[in-house]
């Protein structure tokens, strides 16, 4: 099993290598790929050194799977070239997510949509992945009418430059290398990605459109406000869900407790609830502060946390690869 990791030296690419190793994915040959300036450099994977390849070299090596995390423009240019060589691409950028000819997959939610013909598979946005992990079982049981979500997103979602900005501000009070227009330490920035014509940001509209596509239901009404905050461990989401059918709180919590990949942390007597610092480096989605909305019927409030570099990116991509191998879809 030859595996290429495109963007192997970036934050998510590095995490993909970690996850492949941790989950004992059957890699017989690793092909790390990065920008031209990194070609020839060495990276380590499971105790062995591997030279960084160019795109052309990676295609010539004919891996079965290429995990892409190198940005939308790179994916648009190169994913079709990998596909033409018979290589299955699992892409972490936004390039293919809303393409009607491409599948958008969270394995626990909708892996069943995949078949052998899928050669470019889209990995959803990090904030969407953790949301649908909780919404899916609830939608099947109670049918969701409307979702209102506010996110509190880690700087790691922006990349190394943002992490450096936060650390420099914390250390020196200022930063010369700015990933954001504003200071991020001791601040909250209510903008993630660019603003669109409807006054929502691209990130907010990703959550709306991707959720509907993954859940297979265009009638779910969802509205989002996405905020960047100075944390590192993962993304947080405050979520209000209105259902068609009423629910019993204990039954709903039991349903989430039995959901694969979801961990309920909801012990308010002992002040136990999900927090980014506890989700860091974990693959599960954590949910807590589960309570009925007392302002209207059939409505729930909850708090969802996940490590955006793990389940929100690298782990989800590797899980898609695992599914393809398990179901012999390569």
Catalytic residue positions? 126, 235
Q: What's the CA gap between 134 and 149, in Å, rounded? A: 13
Nearest to 309 by CA among 203, 164, 159: 159
Q: Is 62 left (phi over 0), alpha (psi -120 to 50) or beta?
A: left
Angle at the Cα of 29 (from 28 to 32), degrees rounded to 5? 145
DSSP 68-87: E-S-HHHHHHHHHHHHHTTP
Q: What are the φ/ψ torsions at residue 300 (nearest 5 degrees)?
A: -125, 145
Which DSSP category does 305 fall into?
Answer: E
Cα torsion 154, 163, 3, 281: sign: negative
**Token reading at 191:** 């903008």
- First-last CA distance in the chain: 11
Q: What's the CA gap between 52 and 17, in Å, rounded? A: 13
Distances in whole angstroms, Cα of residue 3 to Cα of each of 30, 59, 66, 139, 193: 5, 11, 6, 35, 31
Q: What's the CA gap between 118 and 83, in Å, rounded? A: 9
The single residue listed with the structure tokens 């959550």 is 207
Helix (H, G, I), strand (E, B) or coil at 245: coil
Q: What are the φ/ψ torsions at residue 175 (nearest 5 degrees)?
A: -140, 135
């Amino acid at each position: 099993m030859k595996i290429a990791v495109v963007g192997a030296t970036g934050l998510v690419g590095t995490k993909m290598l970690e996850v492949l190793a941790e989950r004992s994915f059957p890699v017989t040959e690793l092909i790390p790929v990065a920008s031209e300036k990194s070609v020839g450099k060495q990276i380590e994977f499971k105790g062995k050194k591997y030279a960084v390849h160019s795109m052309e070299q990676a295609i010539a090596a004919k891996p079965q799977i290429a995990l892409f995390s190198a940005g939308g423009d790179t994916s648009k240019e190169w994913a079709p070239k990998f596909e033409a060589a018979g290589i299955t691409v699992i892409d972490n950028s936004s390039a293919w997510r809303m393409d009607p000819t491409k599948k958008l997959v969270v394995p626990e939610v909708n892996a069943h949509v995949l078949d052998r013909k899928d050669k470019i598979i889209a990995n959803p946005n990090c904030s969407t992945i953790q949301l649908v992990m909780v919404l899916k079982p609830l939608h099947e049981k109670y049918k969701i009418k409307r979702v209102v979500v506010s996110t509190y997103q880690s700087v790691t979602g922006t990349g190394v430059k943002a992490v450096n900005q936060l650390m420099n501000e914390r250390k020196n009070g200022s930063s010369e290398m700015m990933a954001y227009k504003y200071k991020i330490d001791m601040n909250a920035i209510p903008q993630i990605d660019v603003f669109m014509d409807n006054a929502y940001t691209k990130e907010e509209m990703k959550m709306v459109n991707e959720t509907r596509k993954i859940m297979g239901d265009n009638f779910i009404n969802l509205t989002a406000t996405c905020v960047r905050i100075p944390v590192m461990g993962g993304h947080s989401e405050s979520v209000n869900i209105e259902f068609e059918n009423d629910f019993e709180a204990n039954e709903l919590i039991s349903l989430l407790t039995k959901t694969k990949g979801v961990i309920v942390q909801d012990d308010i007597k002992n002040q136990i609830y999900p927090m980014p610092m506890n989700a860091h480096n974990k693959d599960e989605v954590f949910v807590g502060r589960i309570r009925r909305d007392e302002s209207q019927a059939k409505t729930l409030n909850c708090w969802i946390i996940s490590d955006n570099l793990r389940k929100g990116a690298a782990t989800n991509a590797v899980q898609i690869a695992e599914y393809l191998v398990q179901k012999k879809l390569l």
